[in-house]
Chain A
């Protein structure tokens, strides 16, 4: 072992410790910041006597949250039933959008003719604010679950499509040469080299897509629905239950973070070789 290697080896351990300590300090700082924000919120509401139908106090929001969560899951006034409605529609839409995105993205990367034919529409639709299509989706798919699934699928589709396409095209030419030198078929090259090469890109698209799917379902629910968090929020808004609206937003935010974390864990288990996945 050279002198340099010894020095490096001696330093690795303390560096890990420092990182660990830094991590805890960061958590502490974050909690302190959060507490400070809550306090500021409380002080502002009290000092300026803001009515609770404009901005409730943190305590009122917490009470609304508790009221929505500390009930039987089957209780229609709780958050569980509407969350189930929204999440199941978002999940169905996500699955459809993700599969379609990977399929069409792959076809575009694989066949120049398809790329030429489809690319202009992808660009056009991508630059369109897709939420503006929601009223059309409701006209076509009705006020039931169909329009929510469709909206989620549409919002998931684009980031997955674009990332799949980019990822496939970024396959290292040397790896393609390797497959060609072995006389591999197009399908073999696709499944053994191009798809795994694109996997980190595809996961980045799925990560975006999972949050967009939730957004899509909520937007469609705002335009009219029988169930879901969008309906619950609209109902609370109509009776000026702003604390309830805040509580619903907290629940949705938590769901978004949870979905993102699940996707990251899934990515790590699949794309174990990638730097992004291994971190």
Chain B
């Protein structure tokens, strides 16, 4: 069973803590490439953090380290006080593409995390109930018997978010989840993501290319430099919540933040 709101995490200790995290790849020709260098970052429970940076700055690399998909050889990376040593059920990942399995219907896809990786059979019923309420929150409860290819890109990505939340993880990691969608669908999904986040109280780390998306969503924006990726600036987004597509861009702080971040990114690239 997961322990929610355990005192140590709430009491000032960050949920995610990175100290001097780096990553060196070796290319096919054996040449070492430094993708990430000395990243220090603290993320508190319940925070919505966006990571922005030029292409190839190691944003996705950092996310893969946090998800436990690649080993963290340089620096220290911990989740809820424990060093990250591999994939954990406390972390849900949303990939760049929806990445649904085409041979399963939506319900089978979103409940997959409840059936694999040594998940307890006893927890399945409770998990399925949670997934059904998540499907309703995401507005895709009526398509649970359809196959992924019968759904639009936006609906598929909603299902991917539900799947990432199926195990009720503490952290949701999202790697440019809406990058492949059209602008209108993207706006709508951003609003819904905020709603799901506020309802669930998860900690979210979202990687994006879009300045407006990050300003709209985040409590904090981490702007990264070009390769090797470093944290260039940690910007607090003070825009009031709940945010809406109409009011938030009209707030006086909005253009100031946009300009500041655009300037930083130009400097970074």
Contact = CB atoms under 8 A, between A and B. Distances in A.
A196 B103 CA distance: 7
A100 B126 CA distance: 41
Contact of A273 (B93, B95, B102): B102
B171 to A, nearest CB: 12
A19 interface: no
Interface stretch (B16-24, B84-92, B204-212): B84-92
Contacts of A5: none
Contacts of A177: 69, 93, 95
A180 interface: yes
A261 interface: no
A271 B102 CA distance: 10
Contacts of A199: 103
A196 B104 CA distance: 10
Interface stretch (B40-48, B109-117, B178-186, B252-260): B109-117
Contacts of B149: 273
A193 interface: yes
A253 to B, nearest CB: 34
Nearest to A188: B116
A181 interface: yes
Label chain A's interface by main secondary structure. helix
B99 interface: yes
B101 A183 contact: no
A181 B87 contact: yes
Contact of B69 (A180, A184, A193): A180
A175 interface: yes
Contacts of B147: 272-273
Contact of A185 (B97, B112, B118): B118
B67 A181 contact: yes
A38 to B, nearest CB: 45
Contacts of B116: 179, 182-185, 188, 192
A185 B115 CA distance: 11
A273 B99 CA distance: 14
Given A183-B86, A193-B101, A188 B69 contact: no
Interface in A134-192: 174-175, 177-185, 188, 192
A191 B147 CA distance: 19
A183 B68 CA distance: 10
Given A182-B112, A183-B87, A273 B117 contact: no
Given A196-B103, A273-B103, A182 B117 contact: yes
Interface size classification for chain B: 20 to 34
Contacts of B95: 174, 177-178
Nearest to A278: B149
B97 A181 contact: no
Contacts of B91: 181
Contacts of A180: 69, 87
Contacts of B103: 196, 199, 271, 273
B64 to A, nearest CB: 8
Contacts of B69: 177, 180-181
A272 B104 CA distance: 10
A199 B101 CA distance: 13
A156 to B, nearest CB: 25
A178 B99 contact: yes
Contacts of A179: 116
A174 B177 CA distance: 13
A181 B94 CA distance: 10
Interface string B56-71: 0000000000011100
Contact of B117 (A175, A185, A196, A274): A185
Contacts of B87: 180-183
B67 to A, nearest CB: 6
Interface in B126-156: 147-149
9 contacts: A175-B99, A175-B101, A177-B69, A182-B113, A183-B88, A185-B116, A193-B101, A196-B101, A199-B103
Given A177-B93, A180-B69, A273-B102, 16 more contacts: A174-B95, A174-B96, A178-B95, A181-B67, A181-B69, A182-B113, A183-B86, A183-B87, A183-B88, A183-B117, A183-B118, A193-B101, A196-B101, A196-B103, A273-B103, A273-B149
Interface of A: 174-175, 177-185, 188, 192-193, 196, 199, 271-274
Closest 7 A/B residue pairs (Cβ): A183-B117, A273-B102, A184-B116, A196-B103, A181-B93, A188-B116, A182-B117
